[in-house]
Structure 1
Amino acid sequence: MAGKTALIAGATGLIGKELLQFLLNANEYDKVVAVVRRPIGIEHPKLDERIVDFDQLEQDKEIFSVDDVFCALGTTIKKAKTKEAMWKIDVDYPVVIARLASSQGAKKFLLVSSMNADPESPIFYPKMKGKLEEEIRRIPFDTTAIFRPSLLLGEREEFRLGEKAAAAIFTKVPFLFTGPFKKYKAIEGRTVALAMYQAAQKDVPGLTIYPSERIQEMG
C-alpha cells in the first residue's frame, strides 16, 4: 500500500540512522516523521523532522497519527549516568510513544529490543528490555514486531571498548558461531534496519518476535 506515513524514534542511533534511510527511499511511504532531541542534519522531501521534549510527548500527540511506528531508542549507562536515567530512555519513552501512537490510530509498532530480554533476569540490562517488551505487548496494535539482535556491528558516535573487542572476535573466528551458537553471531545495524523495514511491509497480525538469526536471514 503506497502513501503510508512512518514515524521513527531513535533516528540518530546505529540502527535508526540506517532505518531512516531505508524509509526515506521506500516507495511505500510518502512521509517519514522523525522525533528527535536535536536536528539530524539531513534534508529530504519526505522527512518531517520534529524536535521534541521526550518528557512532554503528550503535548505533541498529533504527530503520532501515522501508519507504522519504528522505535530504536536506547542508550548506555555511560551516557545516561544512572540506571534510572537509562530506564527512562530505554523503557519509559518507547512505552509513551507506543501508547500515543496506538491512541492516534497507528497500525504497526516495530521495536528494537535485545537478544537476552527477560523481565525476570537478575541482570539489569536484559531485565530492563524484558520489562519494555512486557509493556509494549499490552498496547493494542494490529501488528507488533519485536527485534532481538545479538551484538551490533557498525560505526557509532561513541567508542565502546567492549563492543569493539567482541566484534573483533566475531569477525575473525566466525566459524565458532554456527549451529546452536548461531544466535550469538554479531549482526550489522544495517541488517537489523533492513529487516525492520521488510517486516513492516507484511501484514502479520498480532505479536512476532524476531530472534537475531532470523533477522540475519531477512537482512
Structure 2
Amino acid sequence: MGMRAAIVVGATGLTGTSLVEQLCENDEYVSVTVIARRKPAFTHPKLEVKIRNLDTLEEKDIEFAHELYCCLGTTIKKAGSREAFEKVDFEYPLAIASLAKKRGIPHMLVITAMGANENSPIYYNRVKGKLEHDLMELGLQRLSIIRPSLLIGEREEFRLGEKAGEKVLKLVKPLLVGPLKRSRAIEASQVAKAMIVIALYGNKQPVTIYQSQELAKLDFPETQDEDVSREKLFNWDKHKLPSSSDEGDKVNQEVVINRDKYKIEETVVDKEVKFQHRRDR
C-alpha cells in the first residue's frame, strides 16, 4: 500500500466525480482532499472535503500533496457570460496552480481540451490554449496537460449540444481512423483512470501533453505473480532437529553484529515505466 496524497478541484463534474472515486479506491493513495463549493455525494474514509469559495482561496487552504488534479470546466451557457466562463476555466486553475507551487506540490494534472490553442479562431479552444501557455510559464515542477475529445458519461445536468455531439460521434466512429482517431468521444471514467496512471507511472518531464487517443489506451501496468516453488515457500531446514554438536557450537559461538548491514541510505530511482495499452474496442 502506498502513502500518496492527492488534491482534487472540480470534483463534482463528470470527470472529477469519477476521479475522486477511483483515487479513493486506489491502494497507492491514503488521502484524497477535495476543494469545492459544494459537497460531493460520494463519501469514503480516505476522503476529506473542504468547502471553499474559489474567489477567496488562500495558500493555507491547500496542504501538501503529491498530486494536484484540476478538473475545473464549464460552458459559456452555464456560466452566463464569457467573463464568468474565463473565471472558471482560466482564472481559477491558474490561481490554484500558483498556490500549489508555493506549497511545493510537485505535480499538477489539468484537463484542457483537444483543440486547445491560444491562437485558435474558436473562443473555447483559445481560452484553453491560453491556460496551457500560462501554466507552462508558471514553471511548475511537473505539469501534465490532459486534452480529451468530447467527454461522455452520465452528467447531473443535461447538455443538449454534448448529447447531440455524442450521438453523431458514435455513428461516425468506424470512419474515424488514422489522424481522425483523435476525434473519437472518450468516457470520462477512462480519462480519470488515465490521469491516475500518468500520476503514478507517466513521463517525468517538466511538461507533457496527453492527447485523447493516448488517454483512451492508458491502463495500469499488469502485475505478474512470482512463481514460488514449494521448497522456497516452506523452509524445511528451519524445522530440522539440531544435533548435539550444533547445540554445543551455539553456546560457545561469539555473536558479531555487522553494523554496516543496517546502514540506511536514501536512493532515488527514476526509471522509465512502459504503459500497458488497452486494445481499442
TM range (shorter): over 0.9
Match of 1:122 in 2: 121
Q: What is the TM-score normalised by the length of structure 2?
A: 0.75
Match of 1:4 in 2: 4
Match of 1:167 in 2: 166
Match of 2:70 in 1: 71
Match of 1:27 in 2: 27
Q: Structure 1 residue 111 and structure 2 residue 110: aligned?
A: yes
For residues 104-141 of structure 1, give each alpha carbon's deviation from its aligned partner in whole angstroms, at most 9, with x where no partner exists: 01010000000000111122100000011011112233
Match of 1:135 in 2: 134
Between structures 1 and 2, the one with greater strand share: 1
Match of 1:87 in 2: 86
- What is the percent sequence identity of the aligned residues? 42
Where 2:62 maps in the other structure, the secondary structure is helix
Match of 1:36 in 2: 36
| Structure with max Cα Rg | 2
Q: Which amino acid aligns with 2:15?
A: I
Distance 1:130 1:100 in 2: 21
Cα deviation for residue 31 of structure 1 reads 0.6
Q: Which amino acid aligns with 1:24?
A: C
1:122/1:32 CA distance change after superposition, 3 Å: same
Match of 2:18 in 1: 18
Structure 2, unpaired ranges of 5+: 220-281
Q: Which amino acid aligns with 2:30?
A: D
* Residues 62 and 99, structure 2, Cα contact 8 Å, conserved in 1: no
Match of 1:176 in 2: 175
Match of 1:149 in 2: 148
Where 1:69 maps in the other structure, the secondary structure is strand
Where 1:114 maps in the other structure, the secondary structure is coil
Q: Which amino acid aligns with 2:79?
A: A
For residues 163-201 of structure 1, give each alpha carbon's deviation from its aligned partner in whole angstroms, at most 9, with x where no partner exists: 111211222332111112101111110111010010000
Distance 1:79 1:186 in 2: 21
Where 2:201 maps in the other structure, the secondary structure is coil
Match of 1:212 in 2: 212
Q: Which amino acid aligns with 1:38?
A: R
Q: What is the TM-score normalised by the length of structure 1?
A: 0.95
